[in-house]
Amino acid sequence: VRATKTAAPSTRRSSKQREAIAAYLETAAHHPTAEQVLRAVRKRIPALGLATVYRNLEALVRDGHASRTMHPEGARYDTRVDPHHHFTCSVCGIVENVDPGPQETKWIQAFQRSTGAAVHRVVADIRGVCADCRRR
Ligand SMILES: [Zn+2]
Ligand SMILES: [Zn+2]
């Protein structure tokens, strides 16, 4: 009985943290890192730590509510879970989604035909200068 009594508040606290992290991720279009999520969500939950943020982000990924992409700068999180690519601005670091086009399917099929390989995923790390930075 005592175990359930002490477990309940911590479960409530962790689901509140997960909700706050998921809510922030939903509004953040820039594919934040765990550190950026921590900085933003700490405004609402000051006691939040980086380990908790990582744990909750990974749980969201595991449950299919978010995706993680590895960038040379580290892991970034996204609420989009369908296959897509990322464009990173080398000036301001903003990350934008790039949808796979029909041309992509064509060359992957050609590659599979010529090599006999089975492609499971395609990730393009597209680099350049974003429209805002080009205007500056
Ligand atoms: Zn930029
Ligand atoms: Zn994305």
The predicted pLDDT at position 5 comes to 46
Q: At residue 107, what are phi and psi to the nearest 5 degrees? A: -75, -25
Q: Is the pTM of this model over 0.85?
A: no
Section 85-90 average pLDDT: 91
Query: Confidence class of residue 13 from pLDDT cuts 50, 70 and 90?
Result: low
Taking only the tens place, the pLDDT of each residue in 32-75 is 999 999 999 999 999 999 999 999 999 999 999 999 988 777 89
Return d(Cα 105, Cα 126) in angstroms, integer. 17
The ligand minimizing its distance to the Cα of 129 is 1
Task: Compute the distance from residue 72 Cα to the ligand 1 centre, in Å.
Answer: 17
pLDDT classification of 11: cutoffs 50, 70, 90: low
Nearest ligand, CA 82: 2
User: What is the pLDDT at residue 74?
Assistant: 83
Ligand 2 mean position to 57 CA, how many Å? 15
